[in-house]
Structure 1
Amino acid sequence: MEQKEQKKDLTYYMALPYTFEIQHIRDESGRYFFGKVAELDGCQSNGNTLEELHENLREAMEGWIEVKLEHGDEIPEPLTDEGYSGKLVVRIPKSLHRRLAKEAQRDGVSLNQFMLYKLSR
């Protein structure tokens, strides 16, 4: 049985879990929220409240996506956790490996836990 491919229209893109990056701004013009959609270059807006910012960002997304669809341009989709195993192999010098292992031992944690801590800082 052949699976029907979903039409990638405005409704399709608006339903995807895009990443909203939000900042609370305090400057000479007052206090407000600024936000952008990480995956959609240049798609941004602001609002006096988080609710207003969310509405304005959704409206900005609609306009951004509609223009891209009209021109047949590629529209990035959000990154998902699919395709990421959580395993990363990195080659490092033996001296660095030894130093990190000693630091992990000194802290009473596994090398894996120590590396995770260092990478997430």
Structure 2
Amino acid sequence: MNNVMNIDGHTAVISFDPDLGQFRGEFTGLNGGADFYANSVEALRKEGARSLKTFLTVCKERGIDPYKNFSGKFVVRVPASLHARVSEAASAAGVSLNQWVQQALEREVRT
């Protein structure tokens, strides 16, 4: 399981690299790699802040948007039986399948 850490308003996924014996952080939502490593949580925060600052500075210097752009569309493949149950739940709730899934996703990311 991965954990998350907020560094200067940016989310980073944290995992442990057993080969290196260090924690590894990788920022999400950025338009490129800004990963970082450290041996402790405190050091990870410092390295993360340093990595993020460097990444944002380089993007600014090169005129690159540092953030990923999302279209708002994605395809999800689920078993047919789940598709049927979700469709029934949406109908019962009086909303479209898209609205039902959007509401479910919004509930999930709030937790």
TM norm structure 1:
0.48
Pairing of 1:1-121 with structure 2 (within 5 A)? 17-27=9-19, 29=20, 31-40=21-30, 41-76=32-67, 97=88
Letter in 1 for 2:24: F
**Deviation of residue 68 (structure 1)?**
0.5
Q: Contact 2:8/2:49 (CA < 8 Å) preserved in 1?
A: no
Q: SS at the partner of 1:36?
A: strand
Count of residues paired in the alignment: 74
SS at match of 2:64: coil
Structure-2-length-normalised TM-score: 0.52
Higher relative contact order (CA 8 A, sep 6+): 1
Structure with bigger strand share is 2
Computing the radius of gyration from Cα coordinates, the structure with the larger value is: 1
Q: CA deviation at 1:97?
A: 2.2
Question: Partner of 1:19: helix, strand, or coil?
Answer: strand
Q: SS of the counterpart of 1:76?
A: coil
- Runs of at least 5 residues in structure 2 that lack an aligned partner in the other structure: 1-6, 69-82, 93-99
Instruction: Letter of the 2:10 partner, please give it.
Output: Y
Q: Separation in 2 of the partners of 1:97 and 1:75?
A: 41
